[in-house]
Structure 1
């Protein structure tokens, strides 16, 4: 859930249009935007979808629905704005800086804009680190977060969730890696693996490592990096043999760089449950119901589909938004 630095993104992502192969990001992670040639006019020679990387996004918009807007808690509606938290470093195609190195763009920002429209509020994006998204939401500083947050049973103790995408994770390895597939715990025994700290994929990885140790297999060596760009460098140098993260951004990176491969995907909630990505708000603050109804409104009127199609994420669509569904199981003590 972290990505290449904003400064690098601004340098690499010119001109402001990039061709994204339509089928490439059917599932979720974190990318580098420029092809190896350094001429980012297209991500691939295959026919693709032009992605606007500039600050002027001409976002898909929705109409206010008075009956839903009336349900917004007074404390939220008072200033006429919806304060939405994002990880400022970003992860294309989910959320990342535009070519001005300032404006946040991506599927998550577009969906947040739609929800704000339906609620009759001004979209007010806020940026911070991944870890601080949770603290700022708990304190009420951010009214909602749209940042590839997976529903987990532990998080439901503190936050309310309104779902809007399925959660798929991916395994990324260097293009020349001997690793052909990662589908089960034994496939990562003894490997050097990078994963984001505090993420649901870290929980899945730790569970797999625990199973391996119980079976007498070699433990995983886990390496943590703050930025996805550092992960990519570690993969290239051989310091890391595999990266486990959200699949959309991994697939996006593979499409535009060509120097790594996807060798497996997994549900963000583990083998027995399809993980779900959701808008996150402070528990019992009264906002989750209007968020849920706003999401279902844009799902029904087609604006939701327009956004996912725009960013190549049609494969992560859900038929309806749900409030606090079953999430990633609690970690065993």
Structure 2
């Protein structure tokens, strides 16, 4: 999970390279960050442990959809990925408190269901290990619906899934398809849908007689950004929310291409994920639809700058990212 200390370390490293100017403002007293070009207007992002989260009331009819064992327990065990970054799921300025849009949405769902959310930060692959073993009742961690995952898991959607290519400001190129990344050095996180898309694009380039993509992998978010600023990579392909957050707060990069996380021809969806036939997905979808309707969902997305990724309603197991063709 990205901590405030990690973010500050990365910014210090950018400064040491002579590549960072003060393009974001922060207030230590209020633990807020705001892009400098907002000049006091717009939505400041609260990075402190006192989140004052948007909350909602229990709805008995929706809570009744929970399996009896979960209702009696009174808690939801939820996994979040330690590989996430602002504004998805990360640590507050105290380096202990988990915050982010994913936790806020999960909290609204738990409120509606009348249970307490208990968040467990784990590595990406252990999100699914936790679901398989029954350790987690669900995962709220930027998980994209895919056809392959639907064989083992049930999904209730809550955000659009968009990916972004982030490059050094003034790079002078745009990405609209596979040809634009032929021969380019692109970083991506292992085991993600964006990796699958990039690998597929690289294969398309080779079949068309173009150079493949030079795909790079690093250990953490800070390493990606340092490699980008030092010129070791041409771009980083990751979730649009984290890219947009980094562009606004650091000010030295730009989005050079934005795509659906499900690939061409299908809008990707981010979803609450639970073990298949666990009996939880209907409760999650009903709770999500309730908070969409009562406006608290929109409030959460707005406070994290993600209003453009809102969905009009939660869908259960919609069409997902197709299987990768060999």
TM-score (norm 1): 0.89
2:306 pairs with 1:318: no
Name the SS for the 1:162 alignment partner: strand
SS of aligned partner of 2:35: coil
Looking at structure 2, the residues matched to 75 and 164 of structure 1 have their Cα atoms a distance apart, in angstroms, of: 25
In structure 2, C-alpha distance between the alignment counterparts of 1:37 and 1:175, rounded to whole Å: 13
Distance 1:5 1:217 in 2: 40
2:306 is equivalent to residue 308 of structure 1: no
* Structure 1 position 45 matched with structure 2 position 43: no
Q: Distance in 2 between matches of 1:244 and 1:10?
A: 22
* Unmatched tracts of structure 1, length 5 or more: 14-33
Structure 2 gaps, min length 5: 12-19, 28-33
Taking the aligned partners of 1:11 and 1:50, their CA distance within structure 2 comes to 21
Residue 75 of structure 1 deviates from its aligned partner by: 3.1
Give, in whole Å, the separation in 1 of the partners of 2:184 and 2:233. 8
Per-residue deviation at 1:4? 4.1
Q: Deviations over 1:223-255 (max 9, x none)?
A: 111211110011011111111110111011001
1:5 is displaced (CA, Å) by: 4.4
Distance 1:253 1:151, change over 3 A: same
Task: Confirm whether residue 234 of structure 1 aligns to residue 227 of structure 2.
Answer: yes
The aligned residue for residue 97 of structure 1 is: 91
More helix as a share of residues: 2
SS at 1:308 equivalent: helix
Give the match for residue 55 of structure 1. 49
Q: Deviations over 1:120-171 (max 9, x none)?
A: 1011111101111111111111111111110000010111000001011000
Partner deviation per Cα, 1:250-270 (whole Å, 9 max, x = no partner): 011001111111101000001
Number of aligned residues:
310
CA gap 1:9/1:166 in 2 versus in 1, 3 angstroms: same
1:151-197: CA deviation from partner (whole Å, max 9, x where unpaired): 0000101110000010110000112424x200110000001110111
After superposition, what is the alpha-carbon deviation per residue over 1:207-233, rounded to whole angstroms, capped at 9, x for unaligned?
A: 111110100100111111121111001
Q: For the aligned residues, what is the CA RMSD?
A: 1.9
Aligned twin of 1:8? 6
Q: Distance in 1 between matches of 2:98 and 2:83?
A: 9
3-state secondary structure, aligned to 1:142: coil
What SS is found at the alignment partner of 1:264? strand
Which digits, 9 at most, give the CA deviation of each residue in 1:26-56, with x for residues without a partner? xxxxxxxx97478623322323212211111
Identify which range, 123-132 or 290-299, moves more after superposition: 123-132
- Indicate the residue corresponding to 1:256 in structure 2: 249
Does the Cα contact within 8 Å between 1:292 and 1:323 map onto a contact in 2? yes
Q: Which residue of 2 aligns with 1:136?
A: 130
Could you state the TM-score of these two structures normalised by the residue count of structure 2?
Answer: 0.91
